[in-house]
A and B are shown apart, each in its own frame.
Chain A
């Protein structure tokens, strides 16, 4: 039933559907993809939604092609997205690095499933946390968002476009299979309430345009191909004109600017939720569907009089260093539940640096973490 005209809309949506709807709301008009479980519904929905709004969907011959194709479309000025899952995310990594180097905005949704290799094609995991950070070769900035509900998939997909455009870089949305296939009641935000950021575009004429100039934000303006701003784009190190250049000074300044631009804009990228931490003696750091298990465990612990709270990174890359460090000074124990053998916990341990003990809950069976598993550990350390 259509309820257009009465906003906000309430819909029963699957996580993957919410992702596609949000992409359209964010202004995405180009999607290239390749079938892979458990992300295929995103491509399927985009194939329905995009032509209706004059956008373009193309099913490519492979994952690598899909990644390259969205970058080609992005350089003509379009907001672009692709969606995949573990094995496909691995295949895309080289071109994700290209997007970093050439500073091409794009959104990559990775619906995480159990790996390595073909692994568990339809079962959940949080196994691509480190791939999202270090999957492509070389030093590079990385932004990854990890929603924990269907509504948050909607919000974080929009935020992924905003960050990608504003910072001229690839942004990953790491959805785990639980969230991707779960259906929830979603209050879809009113279109007018959605804030969209656009990529910086040149204000001066083509004769003075430098596509890779140093700027106060670290983000140079990006001209659309075919609008009179003829310039060169390459994955090689390049000078402010975009022309290949491997002199040590240029190489050093380019990589430092690429990494530095998200440090300069960290406040626009960082996002986390804190709940029940005011009086907590035990803190849990959890993201995605593991944070839902953690919340259930916290409720059960509190009925037993144990004061536990949650710090939930929504932006997992860059890692929320300050809030985790602050929390480590206020609690006696930290617990990090993950559907992997310990990935984000490595960052927690690095940042906590011995301020308090860090305990792990690792589930790699292809099933979500039962709240009881977390509760047992809470009771053990309390």
Chain B
């Protein structure tokens, strides 16, 4: 039995997440990955924005920074550049990272600055009561799209790859062992790593769309295909499926390390 408590601020419990929320599953996966790598708690700086998932850093015993809406990657850029020895992990939601914080997301990827962005994608704004998100599928019923949305959603992974991220993975809260491995890989990676986690908000996404928790978890299971399995499937079989696993990995100089070389060059 994994000892989660050694990483938790027990005085912060009970947490704010609804019963059935995917956030707790992802948090446990994150803690198992950190433990597998063997990082000391002092070496980790966890930075988050605003939203349900962004409350996570309050519950864990690291150097934790709960910032403003959409800005955790900007704050994390300052932390990493000022103190490259820290392992910087960004906890963010789909609204936080892809709507209000979209600019920071693409530019941090462009710089390839060393941070692991764990993007909790529940396709809604849960904390504010279930408004339409930039990841909500077209047709979604949300509190700001009562007639079904006509907005096409973002693909966070394609966006990150196009912007220059060097480790891009997608997982679900259903496939938690795969998630462990992908988070571990992301944290070990030197550069900008994105792990998008498809998870559920049964309260604010599920209810208006007439999906219960079981439906939502089954959706995660039935509508995703591992990237390796996908290689053996036909385009017809892949129709409507979302590919999970390590989607992209590249070698490019990490920004904070390059900066130290840059300073040495200027000073010589």
Which of B62-70, B166-174, B228-236 has 4 or more CB atoms under 8 Å from chain A? B62-70
In the assembled complex, B153 has its CB within 8 A of some CB on chain A: no
Interface residues of B in 45-102 (CB under 8 A from A): 45, 47, 57-58, 61-68, 71, 74-83, 85-86
B103 on interface, CB distance cutoff 8 Å:
yes
Task: Tell me whether A68 and B62 are in contact in the complex, defined as CB-CB below 8 angstroms, given that A56-B259, A226-B43, A243-B12 are known contacts.
Answer: no
With A and B bound together, what is the CA distance between A166 and B168 in angstroms? Answer: 42
* A250 CB within 8 Å of chain B: no
What is the CB-to-nearest-CB distance from A170 to chain B, in angstroms, rounded to a whole number? Answer: 14
User: A51 is contacted by which of B47, B79, B266 (Cβ under 8 Å)?
Assistant: B266
What chain A residues lie within 8 Å of B80 (beta carbons)?
72
| A305 beta carbon closer than 8 Å to chain B | no
On whether the beta carbons of A243 and B9 are closer than 8 Å, the reply is yes
* B1 contacts across to A, CB distance below 8 A: none
Residue contact A78 to B57, C-beta cutoff 8 Å: no
Query: B113 → chain A, closest Cβ, in Å?
Result: 9
In the complex, whether B42 has a CB less than 8 A from a CB of chain A is yes
Asked whether A51 lies within 8 Å of B12 as measured between CB atoms, the reply is: no
In the complex, identify which listed stretch (A16-24, A227-235, A337-345) lies at the interface while the others stay far away.
Answer: A227-235
Contact (Cβ within 8 A) A95 B78:
no
Pick from A30, A69, A226, A241: contact of B75, CB below 8 A: A69
Q: Which residues of B contact A75 (CB under 8 A)?
A: 65, 78-79
Partner of A73, one of B58, B67, B79: B79
17 contacts between A and B (CB under 8 A): A51-B262, A51-B263, A52-B266, A54-B263, A56-B259, A61-B106, A65-B107, A69-B78, A71-B78, A76-B86, A226-B45, A226-B85, A227-B42, A230-B42, A232-B66, A233-B66, A241-B11
Chain B positions near chain A (C-beta within 8 angstroms): 9, 11-12, 41-43, 45, 47, 57-58, 61-68, 71, 74-83, 85-86, 103-104, 106-107, 259, 262-263, 266-267
Tell me whether A98 and B58 are in contact in the complex, defined as CB-CB below 8 angstroms, given that A51-B266, A64-B74 are known contacts.
Answer: no
A residues less than 8 Å from B62 (CB atoms): 230
- Whether A234 pairs with B42 at a CB distance below 8 angstroms is no
Q: Are B81 and A73 in contact (CB under 8 A)?
A: yes
List, in ascending order, chain B residues with CB within 8 A of A68's CB: 67-68, 71, 74-75, 77-78, 104
Cβ–Cβ contact B68 & A98, under 8 A = yes
Q: Of residues B9, B82, B107, B259, which shows the largest number of chain A Cβ atoms within 10 Å of its Cβ?
A: B82
How many residues of A sit at the interface, in one of the four size bands?
Answer: 35 or more
* B64: A residues at CB distance < 8 A: 230-233
A286 in contact (CB, < 8 A): no
| Contact between A226 and B83, CB atoms less than 8 A apart | yes
State the main secondary structure of chain B at its contact with A. helix
A58, CB-defined interface residue at 8 Å: yes
**What is the chain A residue whose CB lies nearest that of B85?**
A226
In the complex, the answer to whether A72 meets B68 with C-beta atoms within 8 Å is no
Q: Check A235–B68 contact: CB distance below 8 A.
A: yes
Q: Name the interface residues of A76-112: CB closer than 8 Å to any CB of B.
A: 76-78, 80, 94-95, 98
- B69 CB, nearest partner CB in chain A, Å: 8
Asked if B83 contacts A225 (CB within 8 A), the reply is yes
Query: Which B residue sits closest to A51, measured CB to CB?
Result: B266
Provide the bound-state CA to CA distance between A3 and B58, in Å: 52
A214 within 8 A of B: no
Cβ contacts A47-61/B at 8 Å (1 or 0 each): 000011010101011
In the complex, are the beta carbons of A73 and B74 less than 8 A apart?
no
Q: Are A244 and B78 in contact (CB under 8 A)?
A: no
| Interchain CB contact under 8 A, B9 and A58 | no
- With most chain B CB atoms within 10 A of its CB, the pick from A32, A80, A227, A232 is A232
- Evaluate contact between B63 and A225: CB separation under 8 angstroms: yes
Task: With both chains docked as a complex, state the minimum distance between the C-beta of B260 and any C-beta of chain A, in angstroms.
Answer: 9
Q: A236 near B: Cβ within 8 Å?
A: yes
> Cβ of A72 and Cβ of B66 under 8 Å apart?
no
Min Cβ gap B231→A in Å is: 36
- Asked if residues A61 and B103 are in contact (CB atoms below 8 Å), the reply is yes
Q: A69 with B77: in contact, given A61-B104, A226-B45, A232-B66 (CB under 8 Å)?
A: yes
A98 to B11, CA, bound (A): 24
Q: How far is the CA of A60 from the CA of B214 in the complex (A)?
A: 43
Cβ contact within 8 Å between B42 and A228: yes
Residues on B with beta carbons closer than 8 Å to the beta carbon of A78 = 82
- Smallest CB gap from A241: residue in B: B11
Q: Which of A164-190 contact B (CB under 8 A)?
A: none
- Contact A95 B71, beta carbon cutoff 8 Å: yes
Residues of A within 8 A of B58 (CB): 232, 234, 243-244
B12 to A, closest residue via Cβ: A243
A30, A54, A67, A234: which has the most chain B beta carbons within 10 Å?
A234
Given contacts A61-B107, A232-B57, 20 further A-B contacts (CB under 8 A): A54-B263, A56-B82, A58-B77, A60-B77, A61-B104, A66-B74, A67-B74, A68-B67, A68-B68, A68-B74, A71-B67, A74-B82, A77-B83, A94-B68, A225-B83, A227-B42, A228-B42, A233-B65, A243-B9, A243-B12
User: Which A residues lie within 8 Å of B47 (CB)?
Assistant: 72
A199 to B224, CA, bound (A): 51
- Chain A residues positioned under 8 Å from B266 (CB to CB): 51-52
Q: How far is the CB of A231 from chain B (nearest CB, A)?
A: 7
Q: Taking the nearest CB of chain A, how far is it from the CB of B57, in angstroms? A: 7
Bound-state Cα–Cα, A81 to B103, Å: 21
B83/A65 in contact, CB under 8 A: no
Closest to B61 in A: A230
Query: Is A62 interfacial (CB-CB < 8 Å)?
Result: yes
Instruction: Give, as a whole number of angstroms, the nearest-CB distance from A380 to chain B.
Output: 49
A236 engages B66 (CB within 8 Å): yes
Minimal beta-carbon separation of A310 from chain B (angstroms) = 41
In the complex with contacts A30-B82, A94-B68, A72-B74 CB distance below 8 A = yes
Contact B103 A62, beta carbon cutoff 8 Å = yes
Query: Nearest-CB distance from A141 to chain B (Å)?
Result: 19
State whether B63 touches A51 (Cβ < 8 A): no
B136 shortest CB reach to chain A, Å: 24
